[in-house]
Amino acid sequence: MTERTVPIKKERPGGLDPLLPLCPLLAVLVAAILFWGRERPVQQELPGVPEEPVVQVEQLVTAEQLARMTYTDSSLGELKWTLTEASVEELNRVLREYGILSAEEISQFLAQAAVETAGGKWLTELGDEDYFRSYGYTAGTRGAGFFHLTFEYGQMAFSTWMMRRYVPELAEITYMNPTCHGREEIRAAYYAALRIAANLGLDISRCTRVVFDPQGPVTTGADYISQAFPWESAGYYWKITGIGEAISATPGTENTDVVSKLVGGRNWQSRREAYLAYYPVLSGQSQS
C-alpha cells in the first residue's frame, strides 16, 4: 500500500489577518520609495575637497572705461564708442589673442579703431562704387572692420590666416604676409589652402566668406568681415604689420604716429587726440 504524504498546512498568526487587504498598497509604496531613491541619488559631500572655483578673466577694457573715453575731436566733433556688450567681450578676447595687453598698446589700438570707424559706427568704408574703384578696389573689397582691411588680396591673406589659426587640420598651410609678399603669391597660397581643405573634407566656409564672391548666395567680403570679424581683422592687422614691436614702451603720441603710418589712412591729428583721451583712462590717471 502506497503511503500518501499529506502536505502540512502552516497556519499564519491570526494577528496578521487584518493587514492582508493592505499588502498590495504597501507593495506599491515600497516600490515607489525604491524608484524615487534610484532616480534621485543622494549627493554626498566629500570632506576636505573644495569645490572648483569659477575662473573669471578680468577684462582689459570695460564698458565703463569705454564710456569715459568720450571726448570732442577738433575735426570729427564728439567721438564716443557705440559698442554692444558682445562687441566689448570680443574686443577683450582679441586683445588677449593678439597680445595687445598694456595700457599704451590698447590706447594706441583703440585710437586707430575709433578714428577709422567713428567709434564703431561705420565698420565698412563709406563711398560709392566709383570712389572705391578710383582707389583700386570695389564695394565688395572695400575697407572693413575696425582697421578697414582692404583689397581682395588682403581678404585672401586674412582668410588663409584664419584657416591656419583656427582650423587644427590646416595649421601647417602656407600663409603669405601682405607686408612682404605680392598679390599673386597671396592668391596662390589661398587657393592651395582651399585645395587642401577640400581634400580633407573640411568645412571652412566661415573663413572663405571673408573673400568677396560676387556670385555667392550669402554675405561675403567686406560686409561679412564687418559682421563676423571686425575686431579680429584689426588684431590680425596689428600682428602682421609688427606694430607691437615698432612702438616704444614709453607712452606718447610719437607712438601714435608710428601706428598711424603702419595702419594707413588720413587724419593723424585725430588719432593723436583719441590716444590722448584714452591713455589716461586705461592707465588709471583719469578718475573722472
Q: Per residue in 14-56, pLDDT tens?
A: 444 444 454 455 454 445 444 444 444 444 444 444 555 556 6
pLDDT in tens, 205-256: 999 999 999 998 899 999 999 999 999 999 999 999 999 999 999 999 999 9
In a domain, 137, yes or no: yes
In a domain, 142, yes or no: yes
pLDDT in tens, 108-148: 999 999 999 999 999 999 999 999 999 999 999 999 999 99
In a domain, 140, yes or no: yes
In a domain, 274, yes or no: yes
In a domain, 46, yes or no: no
Buried b (16+ CB within 10 A) or exposed e, 189-213: bbeebbebbeeeebebeebbbbbbe
Alpha-carbon distance 209 to 159, whole Å?
A: 8
In a domain, 107, yes or no: yes
CATH classification of the domain holding 117: 1.10.530
In a domain, 29, yes or no: no
Report the residue count for the chain: 288
Predicted TM-score (pTM) of the model is: 0.79
Q: Supply the pLDDT for residue 11.
A: 41
Place of cell 586674412: 158
Under 8 Å CB-to-CB from 125, ≥6 apart: which residues? 132, 142, 143, 144, 148, 150, 222
Under 8 Å CB-to-CB from 41, ≥6 apart: which residues? none
Q: What average pLDDT does this structure show over 181-203?
A: 98
How many separate domains does the chain show?
A: 1
Please report which residue ranges of the chain form alpha helices under DSSP H.
23-39, 63-68, 85-97, 103-117, 129-134, 152-166, 183-199, 205-208, 221-228, 230-240, 243-246, 253-263, 268-283
- Residue 266 pLDDT grade (very low, low, confident, very high; cuts 50, 70, 90): confident
Range of the domain at 225: 63-283
In a domain, 241, yes or no: yes
Q: Supply the pLDDT for residue 225.
A: 98
Q: Is the dihedral of CA 160, 162, 165, 169 positive or negative?
A: negative
